[in-house]
Copies of this chain bind each other. A is one copy, B any other.
Amino acid sequence: MAGGDILNKKLGKYTINLNSKPKILSTYSIVGPKEGEGPLKDYFDLIVKDDLNGKDTYEKAESSFVYQAIEECIKGGNKNITDIDYLIAGDLLNQISSSNFAARDLDVPFFGIYGACSTMTESLALASMLIDGDFAEFTVAATSSHFSSAERQFRFPLEYGSQRGPATQWTVTGAAAFLLGRQGNFPYVTSVTIGKVKDYGAMDPNNMGAAMVPAAVDTIKNHFQDTGRQPKDYDLIATGDLGKIGREMTETLLKKYGYDVKGIYIDCGEEIFDKDTQKTCSGGSGCGCSAVVDSGYIYKNMLSGKFKRVLLVSTGALMSTISSFQGESIPGIAHAVEVEFGG
């Protein structure tokens, strides 16, 4: 009965228990040439040679990548676009144009979202809730980013050659999609913890990892408190994308709150590149970064039985170029999605 179930679904203040355990039927990840040379290269479904993908602009290329990821993901789950009740997608570009133009070519009800680099878990959380709330049989969550489109939107035209400091991150060229459904023996979403916007006054747009740390720590702490669990109950906790510097800060802060995550905690931005040979400073970033690591490395290691319970925590820095020019600090947000399989 409506109204009767809410207490069963709510775990603590910020976490929702998804009783129907929405299943992740398939995923698909596409990355650019540089990501395809990194340590996780064997886990991606497609490594493109041409990061323009035959298009005449980087923006059109990015949109074509997320379109292709959505199509291949649906195909991989033996479904058609007409089976999909809702697509939930967003990206970093102004007016989320990659997602909008991909959705234009797909005949599907569409929720556009914006969560900067937290988009993968924001869309995955909504896609799971739409299934658990009995609104959908099948949903798709997707996102993308592209080094060249992000670089010129947020920094300068590529030709100017921005200088990079040790805290700088490298926007990942990549796109990923998750197909969710109600049935089958697949990794499933057991809970979601929705984040609040946190801002501790970080001002440096070249150190976005640090700006997102308070949000990541808050959401992970809320998840532990709401579920009554400890770090040892998880095989993996993966933030994205704080980079090496942000990952270290998160580890230190969580320990102060009594949660020692050492050994089970990684950051997708730190893992996707080899920082020594690939010169990516603090690591990768961009909506596509946690998206391809979650859908590639983590999902595939769940299917193979290596990880039984993981917590995916994509993190977003919510500034715009205008807000930074106007002297605003950088707010962050992080959403957590718990996925289990086997066990």
| A interface residues with partner B (beta carbon < 8 Å) | 2-6, 9-10, 14, 16, 19-20, 56-57, 59-60, 86, 90, 92-97, 100-101, 103-104, 106-116, 122, 126, 129-130, 132-137, 153, 182, 194-199, 318-323, 326, 328, 331, 333
Contacts and interface: CB of A to CB of B under 8 A. Distances in A.
A196 B101 contact: no
A108 B59 contact: no
A197 to B, nearest CB: 4
B109 A194 contact: yes
Contact of A93 (B9, B14, B320): B320
A107 B4 CA distance: 26
B113 A5 contact: no
B109 A195 contact: yes
A51 B195 CA distance: 31
Contact of A59 (B19, B115, B195, B323): B323
Nearest to A326: B57
A221 to B, nearest CB: 14
A141 B173 CA distance: 33
Given A3-B182, A96-B114, A104-B197, 15 more contacts: A3-B20, A6-B135, A57-B326, A94-B321, A95-B319, A97-B320, A100-B333, A101-B318, A104-B199, A104-B318, A107-B196, A108-B196, A109-B194, A111-B115, A112-B333
Q: What's the number of copies of this chain in the assembled complex?
A: 2
A178 B106 CA distance: 31
A128 to B, nearest CB: 11
Nearest to A16: B135
A195 B320 contact: no
Nearest to A328: B101
A282 to B, nearest CB: 21
A10 B320 CA distance: 38
Contacts of A129: 130, 133, 135
A299 B85 CA distance: 29
Which of A3, A4, A94 has most chain B Cβ within 10 Å? A94
Nearest to A90: B114
A244 to B, nearest CB: 25
A328 B182 CA distance: 37
A263 B198 CA distance: 48
Contacts of A19: 2
Most buried by B among A19, A115, A323: A323
A197 B20 contact: no
A65 to B, nearest CB: 16
Contacts of A137: 6
A59 B322 contact: yes
Contacts of A328: 101
